[in-house]
Amino acid sequence: MTHTGSARLALASFAIAASFGTQAFAQGKGADAAAAEFPNRSVRFIVGFPPGGATDILARVVGQHLSERWGQTFVIDNRPGAGGNIGAELAARANPDGYTMMMTTAGVSGINPTLYKKLAWSPKSFEAVVAVGQTPNVFVVNASSPHRTLKEFIAAAKASPGKLVFGAPGIGTTGHLSGELFKTMAGVDLTFAAFKGSAMVLSDLMTSTGITIAIDNLPPYVPQIKAGKLRALAVGTPKRSSILADVPTVEEAGIPGYLSYAWFGLLTPRGTPKAVVDKVNAETNKMLALPATQARLADLSIEAMGGSPADFNRLIDSELKRWSEVVRKSGANAD
């Protein structure tokens, strides 16, 4: 090759490299611009459960803050059914631009992929944004129930195998799997009744029409517990709830090592620009750090979480591993 040919090749290579560099800069600038402008229209928050449950309540708290902060409407879109899978499938198929998010749960993201053999989505269908909050699961009965303690309930369940019924908001929720874990660890046989949401479990328990006990996220039950219409027998966390300090833990009731709690967090469809994910993450973390937010969540029996998208990914991965063992040992099956 001649000196002139080498020079031309070098110039051509430089031009190609410069072109790629310009494109990369433009793409980066475009992503930054998208994040700076986000949101410039309404945002949809998909909730895979009916209004009134802990997931719905928390989505509304976050949505209200982001709406006030950014001046756009955050629309809560309740899509109940199939243990949250209907909402998850809808969210997974949405355009990955940040204008559709999902308030997920430990049941949806940490249990369903291990419980359902065929799903139209997977954990890889989403980008983790931020873990928002956590709350105990509670064992609760009607105030007229003869079971005044969890030990009494266990004794009654052992005396009448399969006759006592526990209710939870859907197959695959933490309430459902917490019940299965309880059955295994307590050595009891209970019948499971699935509902479409916590509000329906609560309604059944209040009227004493079917279920014996509810095992569910704490927040929707607190008002009726404090009003004396329901009786909390135990909470599933290692420590007692500050909201119900007189209610013992399941471990205190005689089942060492029992752990049952729920967590909630924001996801977006896979492929959502990182700059948008980071912007939502940063603002949500700011909200969760506010004393007013923490006080409001405490009133709902929810503890603020927060952290990075990577932190939330690690939580999801660890929960998938933990609950897959519960599914395997209990033989629970959603298909």
Backbone torsions φ then ψ of 192, nearest 5 degrees? -95, 135
Q: Cα–Cα distance between 229 and 205 in angstroms, integer?
A: 10
Do 37-134+263-330 and 136-235 show the same overall fold? yes
Q: Cα–Cα distance between 176 and 107 in angstroms, integer?
A: 9
What pLDDT shows up at residue 326?
87
The domain ranges of the chain are 37-134+263-330, 136-235
What pLDDT shows up at residue 30?
60
Is the preceding peptide bond at 169 cis, omega within 30 degrees of 0?
no
Say whether pTM exceeds 0.95.
no
Residue matched to tokens 């065929």: 118
Domain 136-235 falls under CATH 3.40.190.10: yes
Q: Cα–Cα distance between 319 and 264 in angstroms, integer?
A: 12
What pLDDT shows up at residue 28?
52
Length of the chain: 335
Contact of 30 with 111, CB cutoff 8 Å: no
Contact of 127 with 267, CB cutoff 8 Å: yes
Classify 37-134+263-330 by CATH class.
alpha beta
What pLDDT shows up at residue 178?
94
pLDDT tens digits in sequence order for the chain, 335 residues long:
444 444 443 433 434 344 444 444 444 556 677 678 899 999 999 999 889 888 898 999 999 999 999 999 999 999 998 889 999 999 999 999 999 999 999 999 999 999 898 899 999 999 999 999 999 999 999 999 999 999 999 999 999 999 999 999 878 889 999 999 999 999 999 999 999 888 899 999 999 778 999 999 998 899 999 999 999 999 999 999 988 999 999 999 999 999 999 999 999 999 999 999 999 999 999 999 999 999 989 888 899 999 999 999 999 999 999 999 888 887 777 76
Contact of 184 with 259, CB cutoff 8 Å: no
Contact of 175 with 192, CB cutoff 8 Å: no
